[in-house]
């Protein structure tokens, strides 16, 4: 009797185990193994004591300094509960007063973080001791205009971050559809930027640009805008991590933002970039918690594979996305705009044409991205707690992996012979 391999894919805080149908054969693409850091706290302290191209943090700060730390929101699995206390210890050592420190959650256009999420991200002791606030990119009075880039991208920044004597950020360096790799100055430039910069950097011209691709840094207009915004905003110091597929930190660096980001990307490339031998008929991918809290974030698993330097799927192929999505599309303004645009169009192709013609508000870029995906492929979402929202987004809900593979579709059958034709 033939034994079929069992595959595992992230789903919420656990995994889904599944076998492929007998007519299919699969290729497993995994990030390369790396030794997790034995103690992130100690590693972060060492990074802070030996920063890249910068004096140590406690030498950058003075007793009277106003400090702003921009940290990632709940949709990012960055271990801020370790990184931020390590930074605060350095600031305390420099004599900075608690009342002069503000912790700003870089939400971008996502919803504000709840009190419980702040405690999860930072730890109860930090939340109780320091001022912790959320960014709001739609509040013009809370923003400072930083001018425009040479490409005409309007830049702005949360006033508290801009007016700080010392601006610091956390982040996680991982593949990113627009920036090539996330982290670095992005936590500040986008996470604490105004609606206009988010709109422009996520607009159709940026998404269509060949330099805006997963894993691409040089020639990437989005990345260039992030660098310029963080420079103009006064970002002086970052502490970022690289994590493996199980969200275990494997590298942490601190220091001057751009030089530190380069080192982090080098570490991330050795982990995340693997060759794909050819394009496939079906691709299964999941992002797990916290990204699969909602469909806005979870669909990154699909769009990253679609927008890779070479799309991993053949035209007409099927993406299978296990995602629990208890929040449905998501609760922020950007997420609501995603649903509105996707639900208002008769089909993906017409939506792509419309949004190229009219543009779209920030957040709705997810509709443009996924419409381009759905124009060429199909997306089946497995195990969603909100299947009606999946349908409204023009994707196909499936109860489980077997349901996804057995769903009747001409994509799964050779029309002439009625036999399976998948790889």
Positive/negative CA dihedral, 180, 186, 189, 190: positive
Positive/negative CA dihedral, 297, 12, 78, 103: positive
Residue 175: CB atoms within 10 A of its CB come to: 21
As to burial, measured by CB atoms within 10 angstroms (0-12 exposed, 13-18 middle, 19+ buried), residue 416 is exposed
Cα separations in angstroms, 53 against 105, 189, 253: 26, 21, 11
Q: Give yes or no for a contact between 420 and 23, defined as CB atoms under 8 angstroms apart.
A: yes
**Per DSSP, what are the bridge partners of residue 398?**
382
Q: What is the 8-class DSSP label of residue 142?
A: G
The pTM score is: 0.78
Pairing type for strands 154-158 and 143-148 reads antiparallel
pLDDT given for residue 201 in this prediction: 84
What confidence tens digit (pLDDT) does each residue in 260-302 have? 999 999 999 999 998 888 999 999 999 998 889 999 999 999 9
Max Cα distance, the chain (Å): 77
pLDDT given for residue 407 in this prediction: 64
Residue spans of the chain under pLDDT 50: 1, 408, 410-423
User: In terms of C-beta distances under 8 Å and separation of at least 24 residues, what long-range contacts does 384-388 make, across chains too?
Assistant: 384/295, 384/323, 384/324, 384/325, 385/324, 385/325, 385/326, 386/295, 386/325, 386/326, 386/327, 386/328, 386/329
């Amino acid at each position: 009797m033939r034994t079929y391999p069992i595959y595992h894919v992230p789903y919420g805080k656990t995994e889904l185990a599944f076998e492929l149908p007998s007519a299919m054969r699969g290729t497993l693409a995994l990030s390369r193994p790396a030794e997790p850091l034995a103690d992130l706290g100690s590693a972060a302290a060492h990074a802070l004591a030996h920063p890249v191209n910068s004096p140590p943090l406690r030498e950058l700060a003075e007793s009277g300094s106003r400090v702003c730390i921009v940290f990632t929101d709940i949709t990012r699995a960055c271990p801020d509960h370790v990184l931020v206390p390590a930074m605060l210890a350095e600031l305390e050592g420099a004599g900075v007063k608690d009342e002069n420190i503000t912790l700003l959650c870089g939400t971008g256009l996502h919803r504000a973080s709840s009190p419980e999420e702040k405690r999860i991200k930072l730890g109860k002791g930090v939340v109780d001791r320091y001022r912790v606030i959320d960014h709001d990119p739609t509040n013009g009075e809370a923003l400072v205009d930083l001018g425009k880039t040479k490409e005409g991208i309007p830049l702005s920044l949360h006033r508290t971050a801009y007016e700080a004597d010392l601006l610091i950020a956390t982040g996680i360096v991982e593949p990113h559809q627009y920036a090539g790799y996330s982290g670095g100055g992005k936590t500040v430039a986008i996470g604490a930027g105004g609606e206009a910069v988010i709109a422009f950097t996520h607009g159709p011209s940026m998404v269509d640009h060949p330099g805006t691709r997963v894993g691409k840094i040089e020639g990437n207009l989005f990345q260039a805008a992030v660098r310029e915004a963080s420079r103009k905003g006064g970002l002086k110091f970052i502490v970022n991590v690289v994590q493996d597929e199980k969200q275990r930190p494997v590298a942490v660096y601190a220091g001057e933002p751009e030089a530190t980001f380069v080192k982090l990307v080098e570490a991330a490339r050795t982990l995340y970039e693997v060759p794909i031998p050819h394009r496939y008929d079906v691709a299964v991918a999941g992002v797990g918690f916290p990204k699969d809290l909602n469909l806005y974030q979870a669909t990154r698993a699909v769009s990253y594979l679609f927008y890779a330097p070479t799309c991993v799927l053949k035209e007409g192929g099927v993406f299978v996305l296990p995602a629990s999505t208890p929040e449905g599309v998501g609760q922020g303004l950007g997420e609501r705009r995603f649903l509105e645009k996707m639900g208002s169009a008769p089909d993906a192709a017409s939506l792509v044409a419309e949004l190229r013609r009219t543009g779209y508000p920030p957040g709705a870029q997810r509709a443009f991205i996924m419409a381009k995906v759905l124009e060429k492929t199909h997306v089946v979402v497995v195990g969603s707690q909100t299947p009606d929202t999946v349908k409204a987004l023009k994707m196909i809900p499936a109860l489980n992996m077997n349901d996804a593979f057995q769903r009747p579709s001409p994509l799964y059958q050779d029309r002439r012979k009625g036999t399976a034709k998948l790889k």
